[in-house]
Amino acid sequence: MNVGRILIVEDDGTFRGLLAAILEDAGHDVTRAADGAAGLVQLKKNPFDLVLSDLKMPNMGGVELFRASRALPSPPPFVLLTAFGTVEEAVAAIKDGVSDFLTKPLKDPATLRDLVGRLLDEQRREKRLATLDEKAGGGLPPLEILFAGAAMQEVRRLAGEVAATEATVLIGGESGTGKELLARYLHYTSLRKAGPFVAVNCAAIPENLLESELFGHERGAFTGASAARQGKFEIAAGGTIMLDEIGEMPPAMQAKLLRVLQERNFQRVGGNRELRADVRVLAATNRDLAKESAAGRFREDLYYRLNVFPVELPPLRDRRDALDDLAGFFVRLHARSMGKKLSGISASAMKALRAYAWPGNIRELQNVVERAVILARGEVTLSELPELIRSTVDGSPREDGGILKEAERGAITAALKATVGNRRLAAERLGISRRTLQYRLKEYGLMGGVEAE
């Protein structure tokens, strides 16, 4: 059970004692204050995890106390205690950042215990996120978010087994499933965690520059090489290199990478000195490399070198049990970065998120939530979600040509019409990437539409 330090501010001594007794029986450390002024003194003297404050008190009420507490270095979350006649005032205070409210008299001790437990759990997650050390943690989310959902438990088990080894890991999965995050987890839980983690997107680097990018070059090696330059394999020495989108690597580079993996040595472009490849190699791809190899598009010997320990990440549509946690995490993450106070996601918005197919996976979810947080006031509602997702709220996720696909096709057609065929603007309007839109246009036979920039 998550216990915490709780301040109760209540001018009714009997009710104050009742609240304290319920929370102390649950294991919480409780401090009592008889009015708002005394409560503010306590807040200035001691850190608290949660404040329960009466809304109406002489001199300084609960809302005034809440506002005064916001000037403190680490203001705790607030719950307002209110009589039925002042519920509207408590609801209005939630828009200012108050976490929740309870009506008096208290219906059931369990109501208080459950609310306090939920808020303390939320605060614990918030603190973990806020204090995450970017350098030591590599920008990783909490593990319960990284491995959220039943489908990720086998991934977590496999990652735990291979992390501390030097084995090459081939991470598979659709675009946006979090392959680089898993690679970072493998690095920061390995014996090389004190060394650098270097990620290279093999598809984003022009073919004529990829060798230099990976292995470096000597001065004068080619036109424009005015100085010697280290490559990613040198920069990653003592640590881990992640070769993302390895399936896009050109054949000539595949042969050179194979040599490095076999001999653990390489040369800079234009050089003749052998350099030691003191790195652990992780590779990631959204292609089926076994099929690519069989079709002659990927070297079979390189595939076997990379496929020492394969780990496949499930798509988001197979992690629907994690959707609430993931969406809530992204709301908190982006709300904090924007300095906004949001209570979460409305039930109708969450229903729409659950119904959507998520072709762009977690990356698409994060983009959708970030956009919604920018627009949201108080909480993320259905109106802040892209049209493509809103259209699914009355349907259900189906893999055949059902309600969802009909709604998607209609939303895409409407967006293209509204933007006079401009695919970039249509994608922005729908809240999806242009690449996802291109995929959907092909799937729904809409590729013949006008494309304008």
Percent of the chain past pLDDT 90, that is, above it, reads: 57
* pLDDT, tens digit (0-9, with 9 covering 90-100), for 274-307: 999 999 999 999 999 999 999 999 999 999 999 9
pLDDT at 453: 43
Q: Which residues of 177-205 are buried (b: 16+ CB within 10 A; e: fewer)?
A: bbbbbbbbbbbbbbebbebebbbbebeeb
146-155, 226-235, 359-368, 406-415: which has the minimum mean pLDDT? 406-415
For residue 131, pLDDT beyond 70: no
Q: What is the pLDDT of residue 126?
A: 60
* pLDDT average, residue stretch 345-372: 93
CATH 3.40.50.2300-classified regions of the chain: 5-130
User: Which token pair is 366?
Assistant: 């994060």
Contact 345, 353 (CB under 8 A): yes
CATH architecture of 143-314: 3-Layer(aba) Sandwich (3.40)
pLDDT per residue as tens digits for the range 313-348: 999 999 999 999 999 999 999 998 888 889 899 999
Helix or strand (DSSP H, E) at 405: helix 403-418
Q: What is the CATH number of domain 317-443?
A: 1.10.8.60
Which residue, among 43, 7, 47, 39, has the nearest Cα to 23 in the 3D structure?
7
* pLDDT for the residue numbered 139: 67
pLDDT surpasses 60 at 397: no
Measured CA to CA, the distance from residue 195 to residue 56 in angstroms comes to 57
Q: Which of 38-52, 75-89, 300-314 has the lowest mean pLDDT?
A: 75-89
As a whole number, mean pLDDT of residues 250-270 equals 93
Considering the chain, tell me which residue range(s) the CATH 3.40.50.300 domain(s) occupy. 143-314
The mean pLDDT of the chain is 86
Residue-wise pLDDT for 108-129, tens only, equals: 899 899 899 888 887 776 655 4
Q: In sequence order, what are the residues at sequence separation of 6 or more whose Cβ sits closer than 8 angstroms to the Cβ of residue 99?
A: 77, 78, 79, 119, 343
* Mean pLDDT confidence for 24-50: 93
Assess contact for 349 and 316: CB atoms under 8 A. no
Task: Report residue 400's pLDDT band, with 50, 70 and 90 as the boundaries.
Answer: very low
Q: List, for residues 132-173, the tens digit of each pLDDT value.
A: 444 345 568 888 899 999 999 999 999 999 999 999 999 999
What integer pLDDT is reported at residue 85 of this predicted model?
66
Q: What secondary structure letter does DSSP report for 222?
A: S
* Cα angle 8, 3, 23; round to 5: 40
pLDDT at 340: 85
Measured CA distances, 76 to 73, 123, 142, 358 (Å): 10, 9, 21, 36
Classified by CATH at the fold level, domain 5-130 comes out as Rossmann fold (3.40.50)
Identity of residue 262: Q
With cut-offs at 50, 70 and 90, classify the pLDDT of residue 350. very high
Asked if residue 351 lies in contact with residue 380, where contact means CB atoms within 8 angstroms, the answer is: no
Q: Which residues of the chain are in CATH 1.10.8.60 domains?
A: 317-443
CB 238 within 8 A of CB 280: no
Q: Which helix (H) or strand (E) holds 169?
A: strand 169-172
Q: From CA 329, how far away is CA 145, in angstroms rounded? A: 8
